[in-house]
Structure 1
Amino acid sequence: MKAREKRSKWVTTLLLLFCLIIFLLPFYFILVNAFKPMSEIAENGFALPKTLSLDNFRNAFTRLNFANAMKNTVVVTLLSNIGGLVMGSMAGYWLARKKNKVTAFIYFVFIGSMAIPFQAIMIPFAKVAKTLHMTNSLWGLAVAFWAFTLPISIFMTVGAMKNVPIEVEEAARIDGCSSFRMFWTIVFPLIRPAVITFVIINTFWFWNDYLLTQMMLSRKALRTIQLAMQAMFNDAFYAWDTALAALTLSIIPLLIFFIILQRNIIEGMSAGSVKG
């Protein structure tokens, strides 16, 4: 029995190592070739660079207008997260505590909208955005993200509220606490793990989104990192040395974000899972 369990662990470990190698192989290719000139990439794309050079990164930084693209991406991410956090958590709390047929229907509509792909509503949404003068505006893009992130934010907040005793809120009301203050000072800290979870999920979406961002922003000065990357690839499709350095630059901020918040990511995922 012990021998069988040992063999099973070895097989599982080998399979996991194989999957890890397959997963990390593209990142290895990108990182290694980001430091090599085009001649070395053409000679052997998987070989280590003969000499480390930062010329590709300098060219990519200039061609991407990386500082401006980074600023635009950070602004959109922050604005989108703030609005999504405030509206999503408050709406989820209200739907969880005001249970009746109307709120049940509203909740069903929000959850059902998660099954609709953006491509299915892209054309009518583009017309609405143009009518409301939301295009070519970082604020307009953030408002669009608020709308599209509400379903996941509400879903996770409602789930987290199932673990918050109603007695806590009743005691606060007896002490004269208003509903608004009670939510932010008492309820919100109790559902913070779930909030952190959907904020992290949304952050990765905001940072990496291309389709909605490309539809909303057409001015060159408003390009985010993903739009700047696409524009650079269109101009230099065969300049793999510069392109791979640009990819590395676009990955680094999210990698730092993940390293800083990895503990919160794990805690949020486990604490955000709900009963019943």
Structure 2
Amino acid sequence: MKQSNSTVAWSKFAVLFVCLLLFVFPFLLLLVNSFKENKAITSSPLSLPESFGMTNYSDAFGKMDYISAFTNSIMITVLSVLLISLLAAMTAHYFVRHQTKFNQYTFFLMVAAMIIPFQAIMIPLVKIYGSIGFLDSKWALIYMYIGFGSPLAVFIYHGFVKSIPAELEEAALIDGCTRTQTFFRIVFPVLTPTTVTIAILNVLWIWNDFLLPSLVLIAPDERTLPLSTFYFFGTYTVDYGPLMAGLMLTILPVLIVYLFAQKYIIQGVMQGSIK
């Protein structure tokens, strides 16, 4: 029996290790090639670099205008995620506690909007907002992220708010809290696990998004990190070395945040699933 259990355990370990290699391999391939020259990348992409010089990284840092692009990405991501989380939580709470026909239809329309692919509306979006001069601005992009990110967030919050007893809010109202104070002191803290989950999903989406910023942001000083990697693509050639280094510089901030916050992320997801 012990030998059988040991065999099963080693089999699970082997399967998980293979899965780990499959997930880590693209990242390692990108990291290794970020130290190579173009010729070495195209001729032998799987080989190790001859030296680990930082030339590609310095070229990418300068060509991408990394500080400006990083600042734009941070500003857009943080503001968008904060506003999506706050506004979606307030909307979902209102829908749950005030179940009128209008609110039910509005919630249904928000959920139905999630099935519409962005590619189907991107041309009308650019045409309409371009005609009123609303494009080429970080604030316009944040506004659009709130619009596209809120339906899913409201849907997730809606199911979680249903599990919060209404008596908890009634007790706070009896104790003298206003409805606004009740939401921010009672309801929103209880929603923390769901907020963590929504924040993770939106940070990964907004930070790595290329399509929507490429339609909205035109000026070079407004570009985000994913857009800045486009500088390495020429008409007939691609500067692969600095491109790989630029991609690493784009991935690195999110990776660092995840490594430091993984404990809180896992706790939030676990508490949300238990709830």
TM range (shorter): over 0.9
Equivalence for 2:163: 163
The answer as to whether partners of 1:84 and 1:146 remain within 8 angstroms in 2 is yes
Q: Taking structure 2 as the reference length, what is the TM-score of the superposition?
A: 0.92
Q: CA RMSD in A?
A: 2.0
Runs of 5+ unmatched residues, structure 2: none
Alignment map for 1:30-179 (pairs within 5 Å): 30-42=30-42, 44-179=44-179
Equivalence for 1:197: 197
| Amino acid in the other structure paired with 2:163 | N
Number of equivalences: 275
Equivalence for 2:15: 15
Alpha-carbon offset, residue 192 of structure 1:
1.0
Mark the CA change 1:31 to 1:181 in structure 2 (over 3 Å): closer, same or farther. Answer: same
| Amino acid in the other structure paired with 1:19 | C
Identity of aligned residues (%): 33
**Which is further off, 39-48 or 263-272?**
39-48
Equivalence for 1:251: 251
The answer as to whether partners of 1:36 and 1:49 remain within 8 angstroms in 2 is yes
Q: Secondary structure at the match of 2:233?
A: helix
Alpha-carbon offset, residue 195 of structure 1:
0.9
CA distance in 2, matches of 1:176, 1:76: 37
CA distance in 1, matches of 2:189, 2:47: 50
Mark the CA change 1:165 to 1:80 in structure 2 (over 3 Å): closer, same or farther. Answer: same
Runs of 5+ unmatched residues, structure 1: none
The answer as to whether partners of 1:156 and 1:195 remain within 8 angstroms in 2 is no
CA distance in 2, matches of 1:154, 1:91: 7
CA distance in 2, matches of 1:225, 1:265: 24
Deviation per residue, 1:119-163 (Å, 9 max, x gap): 112122223322443200100100000101111211121122123
The answer as to whether partners of 2:126 and 2:215 remain within 8 angstroms in 1 is yes
Equivalence for 1:28: 28
**Which is further off, 259-268 or 218-227?**
259-268
For the pair 1:180 / 2:196, whether they are aligned, the reply is: no
CA distance in 2, matches of 1:117, 1:268: 29
| Amino acid in the other structure paired with 1:248 | M
CA distance in 2, matches of 1:101, 1:9: 54
Mark the CA change 1:231 to 1:52 in structure 2 (over 3 Å): closer, same or farther. Answer: closer
Deviation per residue, 1:170-194 (Å, 9 max, x gap): 0111122111111111111111110
